[in-house]
């Protein structure tokens, strides 16, 4: 609270956040929230100031994923608000809890469209992209606005919530006693959700009848922080499992039951597939198509009841939180009824050996110019020795190769493009992860992907965060050797500057820049950069011919059948 006797909206927002244990704000200062950021810092909250709201929002979202508390993003009105919305929408799509708090202009003028400074009906603009959107119109409602946002962000499937604070509400004053009365603390905003006993029994029956069962772990399982139950369920049932990208490391990727190296084989062969916090969306080909056995039955644990049957029929839905659901399943399976056939385990193991052998050969091949294998081999080795390092990964080929090549050994250490397959999350996620953990972060970035949030290297240097950025510079989107089909001197649409020295950018802010052209010098630079614990950027020159268009998702890229040359 501010002065005795009277307080204002600014102080009430800070008090409400503090009361609810929300102690970090990611934002960009400006009208009308500059004083909010300033006072928050004065009152002991951590304020991390960015160069662009989208990165601030991405930092808040990933902080929410890592901590199970909504990350707070603070934006200015209209354009700042809209910049942040990209991150809020991405958080909602991914199921990350986040609250975007934005200042807004005078409603009386906005609603009559009389042309206010940064005029926009922000709450209604936010609504379709957010899990919920609220506006506080009176200072005495700030407390309730904040707890409603917290409940909405954390309950059920988490998501992004928008909270609108008009400038007038922030500066409005209120009697201290009334203000104190108005504050609320959210109790148990993400309650356990114990599934029905029938749903557990049904799932056990389906799994016990399986000959070739498979478990798919999604980032919902990572979010749930039920790591011990996940491990116990997988190890007692002995079912082969596949982690989706952000579930990598829930069990170490070198676990004998991991079927990652036999991915297509297990999709095609499994007769029962158990989804644990993973959606049957495009990332799993909707459970359909040539990859999947049409006869397979599905078991699905999810906290969102409406996720069930969204793509394929689910024979045994378990609606509940993953920790509770797995405890119930472990209890119900004490007699060990769920047990895969030995022939299945042998077949998976054989396919795995074969594919791992091929991967090893690719990794060991020393191409004349450094390619994705050569560069990622270095990172693979570093993470095997330093499993505590967070890995942020975005790009096209950089993402696809990175996901497959870099094994993870600890939960929630891999943060990537996620459900949308989006570019632009890199620096925001890296800053969010470093801020909440204090641990080193390695951001593996395609050169195009890096460009979307690259200016945040100033933020990284300003806050002296232990972040090392490896820019995989193949000079373009997908690859760097495309030619202008019209024959003109403009570069082709996918081409970027292959000779760009991204390492020089970070030097401008006092960080360490490295330029490497082969795996050996990359190894030296990376080791050096991580040992320093300081901000660094390594420009990794990658063969411009090394990538493929759209990486592993070429099927999603429509092509003209009429093009003159291909
Ligand atoms: P991935 O992309 O890794 O496959 P998704 O984001 O598609 O993961 O799916 C995550 C799923 O996990 C969502 O359907 C979400 O509702 C669910 N989920 C999130 N948190 C929990 C939880 N604590 N318990 C159960 N399900 C959860
Ligand atoms: Mg590129």
Inter-residue long-range contacts of 223-226, CB under 8 Å, 24+ positions, other chains counted: 223/65, 223/68, 223/95, 223/96, 223/158, 223/277, 223/412, 224/277, 224/321, 224/322, 224/323, 225/68, 225/323, 225/411, 225/412, 226/321, 226/322, 226/323, 226/326
Burial status of residue 130 (CB atoms within 10 A of its CB: 0-12, 13-18, 19 or more)? buried
Closest C-alpha to ligand 1, atom 24: 321
User: Among 244, 193, 199, 200, which residue's Cα sits nearest to residue 220?
Assistant: 244
Residue of 188, 220, 324 with the most ligand 1 atoms within 8 Å of its CB, for mutation: 220
User: Among 375, 433, 424, 360, which residue's Cα sits nearest to residue 395?
Assistant: 424
Distance (Å, whole) CA 233 – CA 336: 11
Q: How far is CA 109 from CA 10, 82, 162, 170, in A?
A: 22, 19, 21, 17
Burial status of residue 246 (CB atoms within 10 A of its CB: 0-12, 13-18, 19 or more)? buried
Q: Which atom of ligand 1 is nearest to the CA of 247?
A: 3
Distance of CA 329 to the CA centre of its chain: 28
Is the CB–ligand 1 distance for residue 434 below 6 Å?
Answer: no
Q: Using N-to-C axis directions, what is the helix angle for 397-405 and 342-364, rounded to 10°?
A: 120
Nearest bound ligand to the CA of residue 471: 2
CA of 185 to the centre of ligand 1 (A): 26
CA of 355 to the centre of ligand 2 (A): 26
Distance (Å, whole) CA 161 – CA 204: 37
Is the CB–ligand 1 distance for residue 419 below 6 Å?
Answer: yes
Q: Which atom of ligand 1 is nearest to the CA of 281?
A: 7
DSSP string, 343-390: HHHHHHHHHHHHHHHHHHHHHH---SS--HHHHHHHHHHHHHH-TTSE
pLDDT of residue 566: 44
CA of 46 to the centre of ligand 2 (A): 35
Closest C-alpha to ligand 1, atom 18: 220
> Any idea which residue has 């934006």 for tokens?
75
- Domains defined along the chain, listed by start: 6-182 (3.40.50.970), 197-349 (3.40.50.1220), 366-541 (3.40.50.970)
3-state secondary structure 408-427: CCCCCCEEECHHHCCCCCHH
Nearest bound ligand to the CA of residue 306: 1
> Any idea which residue has 């460009």 for tokens?
451
Q: How far is CA 60 from CA 16, 74, 155, 433, 529, in A?
A: 18, 9, 17, 9, 26
Residue of 67, 279, 411 with the most ligand 1 atoms within 8 Å of its CB, for mutation: 279
Q: Which helix (H) or strand (E) holds 406?
A: none
Residue of 66, 91, 94, 95 with the most ligand 1 atoms within 8 Å of its CB, for mutation: 95
CA of 446 to the centre of ligand 2 (A): 5
User: Among 432, 433, 429, which residue's Cα sits nearest to residue 450?
Assistant: 429
Q: pLDDT by residue for the chain (566 residues), tens digit each? A: 555 799 999 999 999 999 999 999 999 999 999 999 999 999 999 999 999 999 999 999 999 999 999 999 999 999 999 999 999 999 999 999 999 999 999 999 999 999 999 999 999 999 999 999 999 999 999 999 999 999 999 999 999 999 999 999 999 999 999 999 999 999 999 999 999 999 999 999 999 999 999 999 999 999 999 999 999 999 999 999 999 999 999 999 999 999 999 999 999 999 999 999 999 999 999 999 888 999 999 999 999 999 999 999 999 999 999 999 999 999 999 999 999 999 999 999 999 999 999 999 989 888 889 999 999 999 999 999 999 999 999 999 999 999 999 999 999 999 999 999 999 999 999 999 999 999 999 999 999 999 999 999 999 999 999 999 999 999 999 989 999 999 999 999 999 999 999 999 999 999 999 999 999 999 999 999 999 999 999 999 999 998 888 777 888 888 877 765 44
pLDDT of residue 472: 97
Distance (Å, whole) CA 213 – CA 321: 22
Q: Are 539 and 502 in contact (CB under 8 A)?
A: yes
71 DSSP β-pair partners: 98
pTM above 0.95, yes or no: yes
Q: Are 476 and 72 in contact (CB under 8 A)?
A: no
Q: What share of the chain is helix, strand, coil (3-state, %, to 5)?
A: 45, 15, 40
Q: Which atom of ligand 1 is nearest to the CA of 304?
A: 16
pLDDT of residue 564: 55
pLDDT of residue 113: 95
> Any idea which residue has 């354009």 for tokens?
79
pLDDT of residue 547: 82
Q: Which atom of ligand 1 is nearest to the CA of 307?
A: 14
Is the CB–ligand 1 distance for residue 311 below 6 Å?
Answer: no
| Residue 9 dihedral angles phi and psi, to the nearest 5° | -60, -40
User: Among 408, 82, 28, which residue's Cα sits nearest to residue 416?
Assistant: 408
Inter-residue long-range contacts of 184-190, CB under 8 Å, 24+ positions, other chains counted: 184/16, 184/19, 184/143, 184/144, 184/146, 184/147, 185/19, 185/20, 185/147, 186/20, 186/147, 186/150, 186/151, 189/150, 189/151, 189/153, 189/154, 189/155, 190/68, 190/154, 190/155, 190/158
Q: How far is CA 351 from CA 264, 275, 356, 360, 431, in A?
A: 10, 22, 9, 14, 39
Is the CB–ligand 1 distance for residue 304 below 6 Å?
Answer: yes
CA of 553 to the centre of ligand 2 (A): 15
pLDDT of residue 3: 55
Is the CB–ligand 1 distance for residue 92 below 6 Å?
Answer: no
């Amino acid at each position: 609270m501010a002065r005795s006797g009277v307080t204002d909206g600014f102080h009430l927002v800070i008090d409400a956040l503090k009361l609810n244990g929300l102690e970090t704000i990611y934002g960009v200062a400006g009208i009308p929230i500059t004083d909010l950021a300033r006072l928050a810092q004065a009152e002991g909250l951590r304020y991390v100031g960015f160069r662009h709201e989208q990165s601030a929002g991405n930092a808040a979202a990933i902080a929410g994923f890592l901590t199970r508390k909504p990350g707070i993003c603070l934006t200015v009105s209209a354009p700042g608000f809209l910049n942040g919305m990209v991150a809020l929408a991405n958080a909602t799509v991914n199921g990350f809890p986040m609250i975007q708090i934005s200042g807004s202009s005078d409603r009386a003028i906005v609603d009559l469209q009389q042309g206010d400074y940064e005029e926009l009906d922000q709450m209604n603009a936010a609504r379709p992209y957010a899990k919920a959107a609220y506006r506080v119109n009176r200072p005495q409602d700030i407390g309730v606005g904040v707890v409603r946002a917290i409940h909405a962000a954390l309950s059920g499937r988490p998501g992004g919530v928008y909270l609108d604070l008009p400038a007038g509400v922030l500066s409005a004053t209120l009697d201290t006693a009334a203000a104190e009365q108005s504050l609320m603390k959210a109790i148990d905003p993400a309650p356990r959700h114990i599934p029905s006993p029938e749903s557990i029994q049904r799932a056990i029956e389906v799994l016990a009848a399986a000959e070739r069962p498979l478990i798919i772990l999604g980032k919902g399982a990572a979010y749930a922080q039920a790591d011990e139950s996940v491990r116990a369920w997988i190890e007692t049932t002995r079912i082969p499992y596949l982690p989706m990208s952000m579930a990598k490391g829930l069990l170490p990727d070198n676990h004998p039951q991991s079927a990652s190296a036999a991915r297509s084989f297990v999709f095609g062969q499994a007769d029962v597939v158990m989804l644990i916090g993973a959606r049957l969306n495009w990332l799993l080909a909707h459970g359909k198509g040539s990859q999947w056995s049409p006869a397979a039955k599905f078991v699905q644990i999810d906290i969102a009841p409406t996720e069930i049957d969204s793509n394929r029929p689910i024979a045994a839905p378990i609606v509940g939180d993953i920790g509770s659901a797995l405890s119930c399943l472990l209890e119900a399976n004490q007699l060990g009824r769920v047990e895969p056939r030995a022939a299945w385990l042998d077949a998976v193991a054989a396919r795995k050996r074969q594919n791992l052998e091929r991967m090893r050969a690719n990794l060991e091949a020393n191409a004349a110019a450094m390619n994705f294998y050569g560069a990622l081999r270095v990172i693979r080795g570093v993470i095997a020795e330093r499993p505590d390092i967070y890995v942020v990964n975005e790009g096209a080929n950089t993402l696809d190769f990175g996901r497959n090549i870099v094994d993870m050994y600890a939960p929630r250490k891999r943060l990537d493009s996620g459900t949308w397959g989006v570019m632009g999350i890199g620096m925001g996620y890296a800053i969010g992860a470093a801020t909440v953990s204090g641990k080193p972060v390695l951001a593996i970035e395609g050169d195009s992907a890096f460009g979307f949030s690259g200016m945040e290297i100033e933020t990284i240097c300003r806050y002296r965060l232990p972040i090392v950025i490896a820019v995989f510079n193949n000079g373009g989107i997908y690859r760097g050797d495309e030619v202008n089909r019209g024959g003109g001197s403009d570069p082709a649409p996918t081409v970027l500057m292959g000779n760009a020295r991204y390492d020089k950018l970070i030097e401008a802010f006092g960080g360490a820049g490295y330029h490497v052209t082969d795996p050996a010098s990359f190894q030296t630079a990376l080791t050096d950069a991580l040992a320093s614990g300081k901000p660094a950027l390594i420009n990794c020159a990658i063969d411009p011919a090394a990538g493929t268009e759209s990486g592993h998702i070429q099927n999603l890229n429509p092509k003209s059948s009429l093009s003159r040359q291909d």
